[in-house]
Chain A
Amino acid sequence: MYVQLETVYSFAHANASSDGIPGISFRGADDIKSERRTDDSGQRVVRLYDTLRPSLYRYLINSGISPQDVEEVVQESFLRLYRHIQSGGGDENLRAWVYQVAHNLSCNLHKSRRRLIDAPPEMWEHLSHSTPDSTPGPEELLLEKERYSRIRDGLSKLTQLQRDCLNLRLEGFRYREISEILNVSTSTVAGSLRNAMSRLVKGCV
């Protein structure tokens, strides 16, 4: 049974709480309870899975994880969350906890598999033909392609830490949360983001 989620993501206020995600509301909680998992921990994990899965997917794709591996990383992250809750672990800011686990798993995956630092050719082909506007003109298409090309080039010149900081910031995490997920200081996060944006945005330096 699929639980239909209605997601309205707010970039500026995406601060995690223990269970619910600010800016995200969902329907079908009763439907979830009616499923086979009768213990509270299982229900909570499934609820979080349904809530966070799309954004975690996007984060992992943008972190260079191949689409074939993303689902495995996501599921493994939530199964570890279930173990964490069952063993009496703290449940504050579980969203950040899940991202941290997913980040670590993706790092391990990078060591054993080829990493997609850049968008693969087929993806780039897709990007070349896609436009945010449904009725793009030739000039807009050209500008869009140029813009994506510039971002792509800029990203390729960033360090791994800078890319991670950018990706997590795009997911709405505050500097403090990013520092916890990546296990670095807040000032390091701020510096990484400053340098990353300096490279991506012309004329900032």
Chain B
Amino acid sequence: MKKERRFPPREARRLFDSDHLTNETLLRLLDGELTDRETDEADYHIQACWSCRSRRQAIEQGISDLYAYQEAVASPYLPPPLEHRSVFLARVDALANELGRPSPFRVWLNALYRALGPGEIGQVAWIAGLLLLLFSIPAAYFLHAPAKVSAEEILSRAQNSENASLLKTAEPVVVQKLRISVGSKTLTRTMYRDVKHHRTVSHTDSNPTGESLVRAAYSKYSLDWNSPLDVVSYRRWRASRQVHNDRVVQTERDRLTLQTTYARGNIAEMDLTVRTSDYHAVREDLRLRDNSEIEIAELSYEVVPLASVASNIFELSKLVGAVSPPPIVIPRSTHLDSATLAIAEVSAEVALHNLGADLGEQIKVSQHDDREILVEGVVDNDARKQELVSTMETIPHTRLHILTIDEAARQSASVSEPDAGNPAHSSTQQMISTPPLLDAQLNTRFPDKDQRIAYVNQALSLAQLASARAWALNRLADRHPSQEVLILNEEKRQQLQTLLSDHISALREDVRALQNQLGEILSQSSNTPAANTSVKAQLEAGTVRAPDSSGDWRDRIHRIHSSTEAIHEAVVALLSSSQPHDENDADGIEINLRTSLTQLDTELQDIDQKVHEPSLK
């Protein structure tokens, strides 16, 4: 009796032909090519079907016969002849030599392929590996991402970095090379910034027109031409504006950029980029409201001692006063009252002071026909001129007569009288070939010639700086008599006090530095009282008297100026080979020099307090 099928008809039709298994089903059953369910079904049927069972046995017999036949056919040739094996080995060797050893990369690749091949690693492992890779990429990104820092932290670290770089050197001069791009105009600017004495000189590789364009853009957006890429200036500038949003991003592998957008003003965004290694500011990008951009990129940055730069790099042109520069910029006409002029003059002096242009630079401020303040002078180059012009032109009632050295030189043929009151000039009238008075002491203290030269240069430089400060103070004292101070408003009076105080503080530092510098050599020189000499006479004439000898700060400043000038000349006489003195004068000059330095320090301390009095007049 025929059994009922257990499988659905559709599946069963593949195995059965009518009521019997097909030949293919029987063969596949014998070959193990049926599924488990098919095998069960076929076996179940065969148990009940004699026909199918006999057909299966016939196929098995046929396979057996075929196998026996094939074996019989091949048996005469098996096993294969042994001698062919050695031939094969030789051929493999030859082929190996022909192909050469695979490269290490190929070996590694093959090993990797074998290790990850489908035969070695399952599908689950593949999926797990891919998932691991997918998760590891963001994990690696976050692990290597720099620590988050705030805007203030970046600025603070950048400022600390700059301060730290300056502390390594006694009298640091920052030599900075910048590439400044404004629109399509690009120039390279090299700056020398004397940090201690607030002096800056720079030059660019651009023609005057190009530089003027860049400087005009700086001026337009109230940027400090003298302090590009300076973190302190940037923080000050930033504090004066309303910050809309701060964002710190890593722009390169070792760069962090503080992207700051501003709600108001011409500048829409200002980005400051620092190195992650030391937080040194290396780039500034400004995006303006009109979508134009200003880029400042640092090409090099170096802090060197003042002594290592050319001694005259901060000195002024010798042509001041030698020319009558044509008037430029902003003519003004009507007569003004004294108070307005006095206020304008203070404003001009403050501006010059901020630009470091009042330390002996060939700039003179004066009142002209009671109508305006005349600022005239000669500067090193067009960049400096533009800097001064762009700053000074905003001061009301001010007229500018500024020339560059080149411009002045072209007009100087008919002019010969230098400005006798200028300290820079006075320091250059020298060089008669006599040895310095302390030549022996110098040779003993500094056997090495280079060391000796460096020492002398540094001492002379300090003396000259002090002289420049005193000269600036003297100018202020001359320009601001009591009646003019009285008519100043409170703000301008305070500005004037600050100006005086700045110079006095700086002069005190210079004097003390000069004392220390000279202490190395003076302590070894003779301490014998000296006879009267020309320099000694000057010293005595200029020696600062007792601090309470005069209540007027102007008189004191005049004396300080005289004393400083005398000290300057004494230093030159002792250390420079330019002054023809009797060698016997050395001891006297030295004694008076030391005394003058001490008294000058005391006087400066006193005058510092004096100019801070609220009732300055």
Question: Residues of A at under 8 Å CB distance from B?
Answer: 2, 11-12, 17-18, 35-37, 39, 41-42, 45-46, 49-50, 53-54, 57-58, 61-62, 67, 70-71, 74-75, 78-79, 82-83, 85-86, 88, 90-92, 119, 123, 126-127, 130, 132, 147-148, 150-152, 166-167, 169-170, 174-175, 190-191, 193-194, 197-198, 200-205
Contact = CB atoms under 8 A, between A and B. Distances in A.
A71 B80 contact: yes
A18 B71 CA distance: 27
Interface of B: 22-24, 27-28, 31-33, 55, 58-59, 61-63, 65-82, 84-85, 87-89, 91-93, 95-96, 99, 101-102, 106, 109-110, 113-114, 117-119
B32 A12 contact: yes
A83 B58 contact: no
Contacts of B99: 83, 86
Contacts of A200: 62, 65-66
Contact of B74 (A62, A190, A205): A62
Nearest to A187: B24
A58 B78 CA distance: 8
Given A92-B119, A190-B28, A197 B113 contact: no
Contact of B91 (A79, A86, A201): A79
Contacts, number: 146
Contacts of A46: 88-89, 92
B66 A79 contact: no
Contacts of B117: 90-92
Contacts of A39: 96, 101-102
Contact of B93 (A2, A36, A71, A78): A36
Contacts of B82: 2
B119 A71 contact: no
A53 B85 CA distance: 10
A144 B74 CA distance: 16
A63 to B, nearest CB: 10
B88 A75 contact: yes
Nearest to A119: B73
Nearest to B54: A203
Contacts of A50: 85
A170 B66 contact: yes
Contact of A130 (B58, B75, B91, B93): B75
A152 B69 contact: yes
Given A57-B77, A197-B59, A204-B23, 10 more contacts: A36-B93, A46-B88, A53-B80, A62-B74, A67-B77, A79-B95, A90-B117, A92-B117, A127-B72, A197-B63
A83 B59 CA distance: 41
B62 A204 contact: yes
14 contacts: A45-B92, A58-B74, A75-B87, A78-B92, A79-B91, A90-B113, A91-B117, A127-B72, A148-B72, A150-B65, A194-B24, A201-B62, A203-B55, A204-B58
B33 A2 contact: no
Given A46-B89, A190-B33, A88 B74 contact: no
A73 B101 CA distance: 25
Which of A42, A49, A75, A197 has most chain B Cβ within 10 Å? A197
B114 A91 contact: yes
Smallest CB-CB A-B distances: 9 pairs: A201-B62, A58-B74, A194-B24, A151-B69, A61-B74, A92-B119, A71-B84, A62-B70, A88-B110
B33 A62 contact: no
Contacts of B76: 123, 126
A36 B102 CA distance: 17
Given A37-B93, A151-B65, A194-B27, A204 B59 contact: yes
